[in-house]
Amino acid sequence: MKSLLNWLRVFFAARDGEKINIKGVVTVRVYDRSGKLLYEETGENLITNQGKQYLLANILNETTRFNGAYLAISSSSSQPTESETTVPNLISAKTATKTKQISSTPYYGQWSATWDTSEANGTTIASVAICESSTGSGEWCRYVLSQSINKTSDIAVQIDYRLQL
């Protein structure tokens, strides 16, 4: 009986190591008009329950496909919760350019967008998110910056948002 219990512990411990973990990794860069990097921040964030549901629906090839077409900027500095479904205090959402890396680890899908010197000026960017629509609905995940960005016509803000395995 003892050997069976030990075998079960080893079996389940090995299976725990095989779990797929998905995490959000965000890089936000601020550039001046000449293209000089002024500020860079990288961090990990929570993927909402809705975002996990969208990912699973896509994996299972359900009829409704979710593509997280937009990157959004927000003035909300509140920490996201797993139940959050819409980007709070949306400033702007832009169609994201998407890329993927599946030839080497870490494997990831990446969403990228830039708010140029003529966009979203006079706002304070406190968080960034991936969402389904330009209204901020269908939120997948959101990252709160450690330092808010006062967006002016003197700077451009580039966001690279990865969901990686």
- Span 149-158, pLDDT tens digits: 999 999 999 9
Domains identified in the chain, total number = 1
Domain extent at residue 117: 20-164
Task: Tell whether 10 is covered by a domain.
Answer: no
CB-CB contact of 131 with 72 (8 Å): yes
Nearest CA among 42, 57, 49, 64 for reference residue 110: 42
The dihedral sign for the CA sequence 74, 48, 85, 81:
negative
Q: pLDDT tens, 51-80?
A: 878 877 776 776 677 778 999 999 999 999
Task: Tell whether 11 is covered by a domain.
Answer: no
Nearest CA among 144, 148, 68, 143 for reference residue 109: 68
Task: Tell whether 2 is covered by a domain.
Answer: no
Stated pTM of the model: 0.81
